[in-house]
């Protein structure tokens, strides 16, 4: 993918998620935290669009998009049954019922598009120069895990450097090689 094509793809996905989030938020089915969650995802997507050379902005968009998938599942599993009881009640108006169904459908479509968005976003991340080593995941107890910058803080010596950085003596020839061998004469 060229840089221009990937930026257009990113714009398309961010715009699609924005429209689907707005449509899913039209009814009173979801709480405000649904809007905040998707607002952060869209905001990081806009940052990734604005900073065309930065792979960290794309990584932020990817991480927040991945985090939003289980959050969407939780939102749907908790709030959809409550909204069903309210909007699918026989006394509920037809307009409210149709708005609920439309919002529910758009939130499901938004959730179904997210894996494709994550896949394309990861490709864009790799295209902009990101790699697996740049994804720093700190693990307690392991000092050198997740340091993608190449600077290790442990006790290991970098073998790419011509001069050793540790304080180990280098090998030198034995003194007997410096002197000529003794002459043995027969008595």
Least confident of 18-22, 30-34, 80-84, 133-137: 133-137
Q: What is the 3-state secondary structure (H, E, C) of the chain?
A: CCHHHHHHHHHHHHHHHHHHHHHHCCCCCCCHHHHHHHHHHHHHHHHHHHCCCCHHHHHHHHHHHHHHHHHHHHHHHHHHHHHHHHHCCCCCCHHHHHHHHHHHHHHHHHHHHHHHHHHHHHHHHHHCCCCHHHCCCCCCCCCCCCCCCCCCCCCCCCCCCCCCCCCCCCCCCCHHHCCCCCCCCCC
Residue 12 has pLDDT above 60, yes or no: yes
Answer yes or no: is 48 within a domain: yes
**Which band of pLDDT confidence, cut at 50, 70 and 90, is reported for residue 70?**
very high
Residue 114 sits in which domain range? 3-129
Please determine, for residue 171, whether its predicted confidence score (pLDDT) is greater than 60.
Answer: yes
Residue 160 lies in a domain: no
In this structure, is residue 77 part of a structural domain? Answer: yes
pLDDT tens for each residue of 20-64: 999 999 988 888 999 999 999 999 999 999 988 888 899 999 999
Number of domains in the chain: 1
Q: Is residue 176 part of a domain?
A: no
Could you tell me if residue 75 is inside a domain? yes
Kindly state whether residue 118 falls inside one of the protein's structural domains: yes
| CA 176 vs CA 172, 173, 182: distances in Å | 12, 8, 10
The pLDDT value recorded for residue 97 is 85
Mean pLDDT of 90-116: 89
Answer yes or no: is 142 within a domain: no
Quote the percentage of the chain above a pLDDT of 70. Answer: 70
Has residue 145 got a pLDDT over 60?
no
Q: Classify residue 166: in a domain, yes or no.
A: no
């Amino acid at each position: 993918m060229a840089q221009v094509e990937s930026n257009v793809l990113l714009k398309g996905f961010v715009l699609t998620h924005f429209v689907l989030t707005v449509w899913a938020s039209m009814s009173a089915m979801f709480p405000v935290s649904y809007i905040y969650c998707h607002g952060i995802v869209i905001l990081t997507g806009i940052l990734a669009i604005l900073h065309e050379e930065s792979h960290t902005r794309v990584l932020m968009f990817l991480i927040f998009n991945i985090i939003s998938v289980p959050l969407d599942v939780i939102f749907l599993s908790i709030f959809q049954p409550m909204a069903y009881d309210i909007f699918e009640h026989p006394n509920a108006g037809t307009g409210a019922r149709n708005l609920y169904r439309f919002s529910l459908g758009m939130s499901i479509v938004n959730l179904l598009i997210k894996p494709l968005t994550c896949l394309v976003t990861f490709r864009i991340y790799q295209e902009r120069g990101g790699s697996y080593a740049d994804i720093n995941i700190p693990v307690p107890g392991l000092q050198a895990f997740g340091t993608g910058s190449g600077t290790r803080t442990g006790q290991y010596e970098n073998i790419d450097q011509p001069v050793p950085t540790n304080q180990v003596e280098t090998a030198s020839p034995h003194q007997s090689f410096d002197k000529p061998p003794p002459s043995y004469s027969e008595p």
